[in-house]
Amino acid sequence: MGALAQIALGVLAISFMTLVAFFGRLPALRHTPIAWMHRAIWVYIPSAILAVDQRLTSGRFTTGLGRFGSYVMYDRHPTVLIFFLLLLSVGEYMYVPGVWPHFSFLHKFFGSISIILPYLFLYLSAHSDPGVVTPASHARCMSHYPYDFALFHPGQMCRTCVLLKPPRSKHCSVCKRCVHKMDHHCVFINNCVGYGNQHWFILLLLSTAILTLYGAVMGLGVIGDTARTRNPSFALWKPANWSWREYIVLLTFGIQYDVGVGSVTLLTLMTSPLVWGLLGYHIYLIYCGTTTNESMKWQDWQMEMDEGYAFKRTLPLDRVKDPRHEAPWTRWPVESVQVLVRTEDGTPPASNSGMGVGEWERVWRLRDVENLYDLGFWDNLVDVFVPNYPFREAGEVVNADLERGKRSKKPPKAPRASSLVAAAT
As annotated, the active-site residues are 186
Which residues, listed in sequence order, are joined to residue 8 by a DSSP beta bridge?
none
H or E element in which residue 294 lies: helix 292-307
Closest among 212, 182, 195 to 384, alpha carbons compared: 195
Distance CA 301, CA 161 (A): 26
Q: How many CB atoms lie within 10 A of CB 265?
A: 25
Distance CA 295, CA 278 (A): 15
Distance CA 60, CA 425 (A): 60
Q: What are phi and psi of 79, to 5 degrees?
A: -60, -50
- Under a CB-based contact definition with an 8 Å cutoff, are residues 130 and 197 in contact? yes
DSSP H helical segments within 183-231, as ranges?
Answer: 198-228
- Under a CB-based contact definition with an 8 Å cutoff, are residues 270 and 17 in contact? no
Distance CA 203, CA 118 (A): 8
DSSP characters over 295-354: HHHHHHHHHHHHHT-EEEEE--TTPPP-TTTS-S--S-S----EEEEE-SSSPPPPTTSS
